[in-house]
Amino acid sequence: MRIATLVSAGCLLAATGVAHAQATAAAGSVVVVPVVAETSSYTTEVIVRNPGTAAINVNIKFYEANNSTTPGLRSCTSLGVAGNASVPFDLASKCSLGAGSHFGMLVLEDAATPKTNVFYAYSRAQTPGGNGFSVEGFPAGAFSGANADVVGLKRQAAAPVYQSNCFIGALGEPLTYQVLLWDGNNNLVGMPITGSLGAYQNIRFLDVFAAANAPAGDQSNVRATFSVTSGAQAMVPFCTVQESTFFGADFRIGKSVDALNNGQRRLACIGIDDCKVSAVSSTQPEQITDVTKKNVYSMIITQPDYVRCDLVSDRLSDLQIRLREWGDPFSSPVFPASAPFSNGGSGNTFFYIYTGGRNAVNSGTASRWFIDVAFRTGGNATVPIDFGITCTSGNGTEVPWLRGVVANDFP
């Protein structure tokens, strides 16, 4: 009997997991819990937190997976949450789930019009004895069509037996997908897993190595790469790794470099057609058109971070760049920097800075910083001077945008 109970728990954990990858900016008017499960052994509880002062109503939509007991959208009743309150609910009651093994994706949304109320969500599934696992809620905008990786997948036959399971879901748009497995040396493991999903459909690949027709034997340090092959529709990619000794499992959300978000580009540029190619745009370059004026650009920098921006031009000897702090776009002070860092300045064509800790900038708020680009004294004053700016950062920045052209005050 004990073995049968543990096997049942292990099968459930194959469909669920514990969420460790969660952004701290987690409120949204639409929040996605990538996977919840409801079986004869486990009950899923969801907690919704309303950080606002006014009461809200939240619509609950449970999209059961294509290979679950009853695929598709289940009818669920809405949830009222008072201002500054947290309210729990159990999936089975809210969505009238009957017998069977139910798992899938949960979408919670503000019921108001317009949908501007934001909230947080968290889920936990557990047995009557208290063994359980958790998955956090993600704002819907956290998901994109960017290629996403899940790392550290494994398969092991000896105790503790490891099994890796992967899932993919669609949000409001149909999509086609591909999942590839790669070993630590970037060699393909098995065959591509492909398929299509309708809007809000989701599917589980129980034992992803078997699904990919991987060679027999143990595997470790394997990554799954999820791709949308139909465009850039948002997908919800993740995997779980379970072991059979204690039937533990974890949850690993698929991660991309920047989620196709121009607000968090690790490599950002302006005046350049391809950020990866250091060549000024032939059709839309940035320009200095008056050597007595400077161009002022802004971009959000999220501290703590290391940021470097370089000028790109056929006339670098005629240009200079510097970085100024948050504040007024045209009068904020130059950001102080000392070796090995540089704020740019007179005669320099790049800056490289460390922002300092979170509280070192604008009372801890990620803010717009300002970039000055100007004609360099003694250079060739023939205008226009075409150029571009390329920036790299660890946390990601937005694309630099031109704020205005004002008097050149470089020393």
Enter the pTM of the model: 0.89
The span from the CA of 18 to the CA of 10, in Å, is 14
| pLDDT at position 3 over 50 | no
Non-local (6+) Cβ contacts of 178 within 8 A are: 192, 193, 194, 226, 227, 229
For the chain, give the percent of residues with pLDDT over 70.
Answer: 93
The span from the CA of 316 to the CA of 146, in Å, is 34
| pLDDT at position 357 over 60 | yes
Question: What single string gives the DSSP state of each residue in 310-330?
Answer: EEE-TTGGGEEEEEE-SS-TT
The rounded mean pLDDT for the chain is 91
Helix, strand, coil percentages in the chain from 3-state DSSP, rounded to 5: 10, 50, 45
Segment 365-389, tens digit of pLDDT: 999 999 999 999 999 999 999 999 9
Going from the N-terminus, what domains does the chain have, and what CATH number goes with each?
Answer: 1-142 (2.60.290.11), 144-257 (2.60.290.11), 265-407 (2.60.120.380)
pLDDT at residue 131 in the model: 67
Report the range of poorest mean pLDDT among 25-34, 40-49, 298-307, 335-344.
40-49
Report the range of poorest mean pLDDT among 1-5, 82-86, 121-125, 326-330.
1-5
